Amino acid sequence: MVDQKWLTTAAGVKMPRIIYGTAWKKDRTADLVVQAVQAGFRGIDTAGQPKHYNEPLVGIALNRLKDHGIERKALFLQTKFTPLAGQDPTQMPYDKNAPVEVQVAQSFEASKKNLQTEYVDSLVLHSPIAPYLLLMKVWNAMEKIQRAGGAGQLGISNCYNIEVIRALYADANVKPAVVQNRFYQETGYDADLRHWCSEHGIIYQSFWTLTANPHILASNTVQTIAQKYKKTDAQILFRYLSQKGIVPLTGTSSEQHMKEDLSIFDFELSSEDLNKVGLLLNQV
């Protein structure tokens, strides 16, 4: 029987079908990560970007979880290399004047120290870099980490230009296994990009999934389906995405919402209801 809560990526890495995101958690990061894992989450997303993430507190949470019998190997841990443009100059995890290949290596060493681990399951480039030759220098540096066993797989985030991901996929020795993007109306919900990713075995991770889509959650379509299944509007949207092969991130700080998010695997939307939600996303 297929485990509904996990999937295996093209890189052979087991990844949960819903992941807990740690952006903006600041001093609450450790407590919330512990709470999320104890609630049932097995995937944690963070980044080597002190501006928006408190990566050391994720490491403290992982250490605390060992005392509760949850070992590092039981978890999917994903972090990111954040280029200069996304960093706060006063909180740099690497030497801003070093060659970009060195920045990648320094950032990863800092992440390992922060997370108190020798490896991550997924290493993601936080955003594309221009020119393209520079992007490939960064990717090659990430490939070196992956080949040395530091990362199970590689991915890219905030990549909304399908030509960029096509070129990267064509030129990379280690192909991207995941694309993590903001899931919102302004990009047409990445319909073309998601289709391309699906054709090439790349898993699409969505963030800002609920926050950016109050109009979807409040729609008559979703509200009616939620009543039918006796679920919340958020559960309907998350379940739709999961059945479509998308892995959503959720950053809720509510224990109740954590449990509700995890219970999306307790039911299944009919093909008719899947189509209704799909039409809604395509028409807005």
- 284 residues of the chain, pLDDT tens digit each: 456 799 999 999 999 999 999 999 999 999 999 999 999 999 999 999 999 999 999 999 999 999 999 999 999 999 999 999 999 999 999 999 999 999 999 999 999 999 999 999 999 999 999 999 999 999 999 999 999 999 999 999 999 999 999 999 999 999 999 999 999 999 999 999 999 999 999 999 999 999 999 999 999 999 999 999 999 999 999 999 999 999 999 999 999 999 999 999 999 999 999 999 999 998 65
Provide the CATH topology of domain 6-212.
Answer: TIM Barrel (3.20.20)
pLDDT for 168: 98
Nearest to 187 by CA among 168, 202, 207, 173: 207
pLDDT for 4: 73
- HSE-CB for 108 with a 13 A CA cutoff: 28
pLDDT for 283: 66
Domain boundaries, the chain: 6-212
- One-letter identity of residue 13: V
For every residue of the chain, which 3-state class applies, written as one string?
CCCCCEEECCCCCEEECCEEECCCCHHHHHHHHHHHHHHCCCEEECCCCCCCCCHHHHHHHHHHHHCCCCCHHHCEEEEEECCHHHCCCCCCCCCCCCCHHHHHHHHHHHHHHHHCCCCEEEEEECCCCCCHHHHHHHHHHHHHHHHCCCEEEEEEECCCCHHHHHHHHHHCCCCCCEEEEECCHHHHHHHHHHHHHHHCCCEEEEECCCCCCHHHHCCHHHHHHHHHHCCCHHHHHHHHHHHCCCEEEECCCCHHHHHHHHHHHHCCCCHHHHHHHHHHHHHC
Overall pTM surpassing 0.95 (yes/no): yes
pLDDT for 284: 55
**Sequence-separated (6 or more) residues with CB below 8 Å from residue 150:** 108, 112, 118, 119, 120, 123
